[in-house]
Amino acid sequence: MSFQIFTDTSANLPTALAQEKQIGVIPFTYIVEGEERSCLDTEAFDGAEYYGLLRSRANISTSQINPQRYVEYMEPALKAGQDILYIGMSSGISGSYQSACIAAEQLRDAYPQREVRTVDTLGASLGEGLVVLSAAENRDKGLSLDNTVSAALKQSQCMYQVFLVDDLFHLKKNGRLSNAASIVGTVLQIKPILKGNEQGQIVCIAKERGRRRAIRALADHYKAYVKDAPHQTVGIAHADCAEDAEYLSGLIREAARPKSVLNVLYEPVTGSHVGSGTLALFFRGDELVRSKD
């Protein structure tokens, strides 16, 4: 391996897949009723229980991790003579990427003979994770660190991230919604459609009446904006709504069949910000796709 790739748990990669691709994963933590937890084993994560707690408005919170945690996880690779590429969660919704940059600068000073590079995906969940997987594939094909970084930055720019939520409670509570004035209720079964914009922020772009109609709207965005579908992996993440995820998977295969679909349960930290019942779709479009509604 010419360099070691690191990401964080918000990339939402199944543990077995990250291990297979030799991707180091740095844990984010979350607090449930005063107890701090992390999720480094996706198979052991009880999504039904966790998202049930979110539905009941249990006291669940997250906190930004400090630079020292990044140092602790990445320094052994530098000591072993490897360069590092860290691919992280959007700086538009979390300060954790800045903590990673601070850690990277500390490590560059301590190991001046080594390269420590960082990439802000401007995404979360599989909007981040798909970039990480592609970087691992490029590394394993023999691409240099510089070329892998360039490809990851380009893919991040072209990654369309669109999702529906049952309501905006959690996004508003955690300050993750940039256009918070776009508040809608659930009395009339109005479902907000949101996306990640050019700055990696979450914005509300539409409102659909009824869940099935909202899911079809996600597929319509895919049909309109996807590029080179047969040669890409498309991501779907759900917060305890597996049947809806399968329905969406079928719709996108009908619209433009991708090479594969990676379907995952939202990990707990990102999931706590979007809430139970969230369904998200991630795919590559053109270089201007982030600006499109």
The model's pLDDT over 206-253, given as tens digits with 9 standing for 90+, comes to 989 899 999 999 999 999 999 999 999 999 999 999 999 999 999 999
Token readout for 248 is: 């969406």
Please report the pLDDT score of residue 58 as a whole number: 87
The model's pLDDT over 106-144, given as tens digits with 9 standing for 90+, comes to 999 999 999 999 999 999 999 999 999 999 999 999 999
pLDDT of 181 higher than 80: no
State the average pLDDT over residues 87-91: 95
CA distance 188 to 225: 29
Nearest to 107 by CA among 154, 145, 71, 143: 71
CA distance 268 to 87: 19
CB 169 within 8 A of CB 175: no
pLDDT of 18 higher than 60: yes
Tracing tokens 């009824």 back to the chain, one arrives at 210
pTM exceeds 0.85 for this model: yes
Tracing tokens 């050019």 back to the chain, one arrives at 198
**Beta strands per DSSP E along the chain:** 3-8, 23-26, 29-32, 35-38, 60-62, 83-88, 116-120, 159-164, 190-196, 202-209, 233-238, 260-265, 279-284
Please write down the long-range contacts of 92-96, taking CB distance under 8 Å and 24 or more positions apart.
92/122, 92/196, 92/197, 92/199, 92/200, 92/201, 92/202, 93/124, 93/176, 93/200, 93/201, 93/202, 93/273, 94/10, 94/64, 94/124, 95/64, 96/8, 96/10, 96/28, 96/64, 96/65
pLDDT classification of 1: cutoffs 50, 70, 90:
low
Torsion, CA 30, CA 35, CA 37, CA 42, rounded to 10: -100
pLDDT of 44 higher than 70: yes
